[in-house]
């Protein structure tokens, strides 16, 4: 289409960008409350990456072992290496039981106990009575809990008739002349047509960005689109140095092997056959926090006790677990092992290695799901019209390291909460459906940029750069520079290399200029987001001269609460950093003071 044309406009009470678990829970509540809401997703809703979550969702139901939300709160704070905001963690853990029962009412086919209640399994970092015996807190539907939840939420949205724009790509936030967020520009992937969706309430639920790393467990759609939009709008990202490397990705390939495998009794072994987690976490062994287990694996391999011809992985052994437990509780894992490795884990151990899995950082928000940003005096102020939830947000309930089973909880708790926040605002102020002037200048420039044609002739096309090649280089740089262990030199090198990537991105041209399912153009737009996120990660990580949670520095091996018990804020302009305090003031429970973290 001609970019100078006026874009068609549609008005909604609220917009939900993203149709994973967070977006669908939010849209469901908004639709139920009678609001005119549109949910936008670049894929059909059940293709969203929530579908790949395996192990489960945490809630102190106490169906298997005694439990209290306060114990869950303690475990989550300790797991976060004390960087999590205690008010937000308290809220999430308090809500958890109700949230899980509500999912059950929505139809989620949870596995069941003999009592008929929801099955709960052991997971890493979960304890009873503030750090004592292992808790069974993770509610599971076999090892397909994400699939079960995502499909049930989609089904409930069908029931209520939520308006869904699927295979529409959200490009950028649009601001009113007052600087408030007034909607988004979207592109219909089917025909390349642009459209403005205008609303006084825009919620981002665009998920993670694991595609910045080469070795990752993430879907190819996880390109951090919401984060890119926020950075381009001049707003900050929080704690982007904290990326979770899941201990058990399939070695060399990256598919996720759920923590549920260790929850059901699986053991990690090195080349000598040693169950080496006993050394690193004598008390809970294989069920230590993910950052602890990932570092242990990396050390085993570095010190020459890795398995295989290249000694570059360890083994996850479940051969001692009864076959019927595996077929009933871990069928999906068995399936993945057989499909991708030709290995039946009932007979043979699975080769695994830490793999980028989850982004603890994201768009800073408060507990209500409203995006916040510091004003000139450093005070955190609500950004009018903008909300964020789920993996793309940083509220922060995961701090420096997320516990397994807490991400599905995060998306549902804050999906519902943000919907209630928006709904209240809509009830007190009638939604504005008149045409407000929106600033379209920068988005037009961005679209224009991707119309640029190469001056090189087609015959030499093999030599010219491409979106695909730049993405590959980016992923290599991030794997090398910002992995499980980091130091100043490798990160500085990564930062320098990223500047080269930025230059290539600025100059690259597309070869396909058609409008129908132009996936090259889509990949180009996504790459802009990935590169912006990589800069946020490396800049934030370079500055943090301590080791905390998943950010583990060889040159600053200790946690430093004096200097670094604070959140990082990254702004795209001039790669500027600012900091804000960690919340240590929960409402109902006494605060948990930072202590050395031992498992």
Partner 1 sequence: MQFIISRYNPQIDKIPYDQTFELDNTQISTDSMLLDALHLLREQDPSLAYRSSCQEGVCGSDGMNVNGRNRLSCITPLSDLPQKIVIKPMPGLPIIKDLIIDMELFYQQYQGVDPFLQSEPLDLQHEHLQSPEDRAKLDGSYECILCGCCTTSCPSFWWNPDQFAGPAALLAAHRFVIDSRDIQHVDRLKNLDSPTQIFRCRHIQNCTDACPKGLNPSRAIQELKSIMVKEI
Cβ-contact 357, 246 below 8 angstroms:
yes
The footprint of partner 1 on this chain (CB under 8 A) covers a number of residues equal to 62
Asked if residue 170 lies in contact with residue 155, where contact means CB atoms within 8 angstroms, the answer is: no
Question: With respect to partner 1, which residue has the nearer C-beta, 468 or 554?
Answer: 468
Residue 587 contacts partner 1 per CB under 8 A: no
Site string for partner 1, 515-544 (x = CB under 8 A): xxxxxx------------------------
Q: Work out whether 465 is an interface residue with partner 1 (CB under 8 A).
A: no
Cβ of 321: how many Cβ atoms within 10 Å?
18
Sheet of 57-58, strand order: 57-58, 134-139, 120-127
Contacting residue, 339, 435, 448, 545, with partner 1 by CB under 8 A: 339
> Which one among 36, 47, 480, 488 touches partner 1, defined by CB under 8 A?
47
**CB of residue 238 to partner 1, shortest distance in Å:** 27
Q: Are 330 and 142 in contact (CB under 8 A)?
A: yes
Rule CB under 8 A: say whether 437 interacts with partner 1. Answer: no
Q: Output 110 or 242, the one with its CB closest to partner 1.
A: 110
Q: Which of 378, 383, 417, 8 is nearest to 182 (CA)?
A: 383
Nearest one of 3, 8, 43, 47 to 170, comparing CA atoms: 43
What is the total residue count of the chain?
Answer: 599
CB of 414 vs partner 1, minimal distance in Å: 17
Q: How near is the Cβ of 559 to partner 1 at its closest, in Å?
A: 35
**Residue 102 is a binding residue for partner 1 (CB under 8 A):** yes
* Options 4, 5, 6, 114; binder of partner 1; rule CB under 8 A: 114
User: CA 576, CA 535: separation in Å to the nearest integer?
Assistant: 11
Q: Which of 367, 398, 413, 407 is nearest to 100 (CA)?
A: 413
Report strand pairing: 194-198 vs 181-188: antiparallel
* Identified binder of partner 1 from the candidate list 33, 65, 68, 155, rule CB under 8 A: 155
Select the residue interacting with partner 1 from 41, 70, 152, 248 (CB under 8 A): 152
Q: Does 158 bind partner 1 (CB under 8 A)?
A: yes
- The yes or no reply on residue 312 touching partner 1 (CB under 8 A) is no
Q: Point out the catalytic residue in the list 290, 486, 521, 544.
A: 290
Closer residue to partner 1 in complex, CB, 112/449: 112
Residue with tokens 């849209």: 27
Site for partner 1 in 271-300 (CB under 8 A): none
- Tell me the C-alpha distance between 409 and 75, whole Å: 14
Q: How many CA atoms does the CB half-sphere of 390 hold within 13 Å?
A: 32
Note if the bond before 261 is cis, omega within 30 degrees: no
The verdict on 507 binding partner 1 (CB under 8 A) reads no
Other CB atoms within a 10 A radius of the CB of residue 210 amount to 27
Quick check: is 553 catalytic? no
Q: How, if at all, do strands 181-188 and 168-175 pair?
A: antiparallel
CA distances from 415 to 94, 149, 207, 552 (A): 15, 13, 12, 31
Sign, Cα dihedral of 201, 202, 205, 208: negative
Contact between 268 and partner 1 per CB under 8 A: no
Residues 243-262 that bind partner 1 (CB under 8 A): 255-256
Residues in contact with partner 1, shown as a per-residue x/- string from 125 to 144 under the rule CB under 8 A:
----------------x--x
Tell me the CB-side half-sphere exposure of residue 37, using CA atoms within 13 A: 31
Alpha helices in 216-322 (DSSP H): 225-232, 260-263, 277-280, 290-302
> Is 342 or 596 the residue whose CB approaches partner 1 more closely?
342
* 212 near partner 1, judged by CB under 8 A: no
The binder of partner 1 chosen from 271, 311, 340, 464 (CB under 8 A)? 340
User: Which of 36, 117, 384, 589 touches partner 1 by CB under 8 A?
Assistant: 117
| Catalytic positions, written as ranges | 290
Which positions touch partner 1 (CB under 8 A)? 43-44, 46-49, 51-52, 98, 100-102, 104-107, 109-118, 141, 144, 147-148, 151-152, 155-156, 158-159, 190, 219-221, 255-256, 332, 335-336, 339-342, 466-468, 510-512, 514-520
């Amino acid at each position: 289409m001609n970019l100078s044309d006026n874009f068609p406009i549609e008005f909604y009470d609220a917009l939900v960008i993203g149709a994973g678990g967070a977006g669908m829970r939010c849209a469901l509540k908004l639709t139920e409350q009678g609001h005119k809401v549109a949910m936008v997703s670049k894929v059909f809703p059940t293709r969203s990456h929530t579908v790949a979550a395996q192990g489960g969702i945490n809630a102190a139901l106490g169906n298997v072992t005694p439990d209290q939300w306060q114990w869950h709160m303690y475990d989550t704070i300790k797991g976060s290496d004390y960087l999590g905001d205690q008010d937000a963690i308290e809220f999430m853990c308090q809500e958890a039981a109700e949230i899980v029962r509500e999912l059950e009412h929505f139809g989620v086919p949870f596995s069941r106990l003999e009592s008929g209640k929801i099955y709960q399994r052991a997971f890493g970092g979960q304890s009873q009575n503030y750090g004592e015996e292992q808790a069974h807190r993770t509610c599971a539907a076999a090892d397909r809990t994400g699939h079960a939840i995502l499909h049930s939420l989609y089904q409930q949205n069908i029931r209520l008739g939520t308006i869904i724009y699927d295979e529409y790509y959200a490009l950028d936030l649009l601001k009113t002349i007052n600087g408030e967020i007034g909607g988004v520009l979207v592109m219909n992937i089917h025909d390349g047509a642009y459209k403005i969706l205008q609303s006084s309430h825009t919620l981002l639920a665009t998920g993670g960005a694991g595609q910045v790393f080469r070795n990752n467990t993430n879907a190819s759609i996880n390109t951090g689109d919401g984060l890119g939009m926020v950075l381009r709008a001049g707003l900050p990202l929080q704690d982007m140095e904290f990326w979770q490397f899941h201990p058990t990705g399939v070695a060399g390939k990256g598919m996720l092997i759920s923590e549920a495998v260790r929850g059901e009794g699986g053991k990690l072994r090195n080349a000598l056959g040693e169950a080496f987690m006993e050394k690193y976490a004598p008390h809970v062994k294989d069920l230590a926090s993910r950052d602890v287990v990932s570092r242990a694996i990396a050390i085993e391999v570095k010190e020459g006790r890795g398995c295989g011809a290249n000694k570059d992985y360890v083994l996850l052994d479940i051969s001692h677990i009864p076959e019927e437990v595996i077929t009933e509780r871990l069928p999906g894992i068995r399936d993945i092992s057989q499909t991708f490795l030709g290995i039946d884990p009932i007979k043979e151990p699975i080769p695994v290695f830490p793999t980028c899995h989850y982004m603890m950082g994201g768009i800073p928000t408060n507990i209500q799901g409203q995006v916040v940003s510091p004003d000139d005096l450093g005070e955190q102020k609500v950004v009018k019209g903008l909300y964020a939830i789920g993996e793309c947000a940083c509220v922060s309930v995961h701090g420096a390291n997320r516990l397994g089973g807490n991400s599905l909880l995060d998306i549902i708790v804050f999906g519902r909460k943000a919907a209630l926040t928006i709904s209240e605002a809509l009830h007190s102020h009638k939604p504005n459906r008149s045409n407000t002037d929106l600033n379209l200048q920068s988005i037009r420039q961005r679209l224009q940029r991707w119309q640029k044609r190469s001056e090189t002739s087609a015959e030499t096309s093999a030599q010219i750069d491409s979106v695909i090649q730049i993405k590959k280089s980016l992923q290599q740089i991030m794997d090398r520079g910002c992995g499980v262990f980091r130091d100043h030199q490798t990160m500085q090198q990564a930062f320098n290399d990223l500047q080269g990537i930025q230059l290539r991105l600025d100059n690259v041209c597309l070869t396909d200029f058609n409008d129908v399912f132009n996936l090259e153009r889509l990949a180009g737009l996504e790459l802009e987001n990935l590169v912006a996120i990589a800069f946020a990660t490396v800049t934030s990580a370079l500055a943090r001269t301590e080791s905390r949670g998943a950010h583990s520095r060889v040159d600053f091996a200790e946690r430093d609460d004096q200097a670094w018990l604070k959140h990082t804020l990254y702004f795209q302009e001039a790669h500027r950093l600012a900091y804000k305090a960690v919340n240590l003031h929960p409402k109902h429970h006494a605060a948990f003071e930072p202590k050395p973290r031992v498992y």
